[in-house]
Amino acid sequence: MTTGPGESGTSGTVWRPPSEPALRSPAAEPPPSPPPAPPAPQGDRRWRPALIVGIAGLVVGAITGGLAGGLIAARLDDDPVAGDVSRGEAGGSLDLDLTTAITAAARKASPAVVRVESATRRSLDVGSGVVVSAEGYIVTNAHVVMGTDQLKVVFADGSERPAVLIGHDYPFNDIAVLQVAPVGLSVIEVGDSAELEPGETVLAIGNPLGELYGSVTVGVVSGLNRSRVLDGMRHDDIIQTDAAINSGNSGGALVNLAGQLVGMPTTILRQSNGGQPVEGVAFAIPSRRVMEIANLIIAARGPIARPSLQLEHLDLNDEVAARLPALPTSTGAVVLAVAQGGAAAQAGVRAGDVIVRVGDTAVDAQTPLLNALAKHQPGETVKVVLNRNGRIIETEVRLARRS
């Protein structure tokens, strides 16, 4: 879906949110004397989120095959069901306070969330983005804007402006930065994702399905520092939430009750590895990493310098290895194709080789090839260890710069 990658940032600007006001706890009213007969209990409406979710499928046919994935979508049904326990005055007041806080957060953040239209000769893709500076910089997912011929941003008030892609960090991070004319912009306040807590209420704001502009869905922080492999890169700082995220929400805003950006919705789980349906599991890139990568892109006025072996690969695990023709090992990264005259080709790497080590880092299910590469710089010469039909080969590769 774009920091070293997967870690809290140390460069760029990090915003820290002001302390959030506590929700008002209503004072209990003294009972009248003598007390009247209690009224019959009333049915209670409770929210039951139902999330229809999706994950990219794996299609591996042969050693030259690859993975085929799909953009993941979700739907949240606010389904009120009757309850059999009445709610007292205090509970009703707390509900009112929470509703008021949600409304205020949505009102504050929504003007800074935009619709991003990425047009090619054959198609129009739609995602979301967030204005993060008065200079016109907008952050979004890289997969929303890559390979585009023309970019346009539609604001909450319906106005439109052309946008320029400043740079992206795909596949190391699914993060990109656009820029529009810096006139009359609503800028989101950026919060510190490190201050999130499990159970905290969050809102997802974006353009689901590319047509339901400015939609707001509500959930909680279900988990923090989740480990997920996204686009071949393992990240250990992912936010898990049950707020509804659909196709079109990618690149939008995950905000806290202060209306501050704390994450960027990017993907959602449809089913487990075993094919079992999964509900209420969506993922967002934390705002700390989003802003660290965005600031590096802005400073470079283009993509971040990343190393490349100039080859196509597939990271192995037990499931993937079982679907491929016989391999000498079930760990590492199998080389699918090598760019002619590229860095790997010059070092003698061939299609069918399995890369098991880059420098001092073993390539395995816990450390994909991109994570091992991310520790190095373009132009650096590193030792690469290959398994070629059971024979261990060491070679040195002068890393190219990612194009």
Whether the CB-CB separation of 269 and 53 falls below 8 Å is answered with: yes
Pick the catalytic residue from 125, 143, 308, 353. 143
Q: Is 174 a catalytic residue?
A: yes
> 3-state class of 29 per DSSP?
coil
* CB neighbours of residue 178 within 10 Å: 26
* DSSP labels, 141-198: -HHHHTT-SEEEEE-TTS-EEE-EEEEE-TTT-S-EEEE---SS---PEE--GGG--T
Q: Tokens at residue 182, please? A: 């810096």
Q: At residue 274, what is the residue type?
A: G
Burial class (CB in 10 A: 0-12, 13-18, 19+), 52: middle
Interatomic CA distance for residues 361 and 374, integer angstroms: 11
Indicate the SS3 state at residue 10.
coil
Catalytic option among 133, 250, 287, 308? 250
Q: Which helix (H) or strand (E) holds 109?
A: helix 89-109
Q: Take residue 361 and report the two structure tokens written for it.
A: 């880092």
Instruction: Please say if 193 is a catalytic residue.
Output: no
The closest of 60, 65, 55, 64 to 318, measured between CA atoms, is 60
Q: Which helix (H) or strand (E) holds 288?
A: helix 287-300
Q: Are 354 and 393 in contact (CB under 8 A)?
A: no
Task: Say whether 92 sits in a helix, a strand or coil.
Answer: helix
Site of tokens 């910089």 = 137
- In 3-state terms, what secondary structure has residue 305? coil
d(CA 161, CA 137): 13
Q: How far apart are CA 125 and CA 210, in angstroms?
A: 8
Judge residue 261's burial from the number of C-beta atoms within 10 Å of its C-beta, 0-12 exposed, 13-18 middle, 19 or more buried.
Answer: buried
Q: Is 75 helix (H, G, I), strand (E, B) or coil?
A: coil
From the list 125, 169, 174, 315, the catalytic residue is: 174
**Active site members:** 143, 174, 250
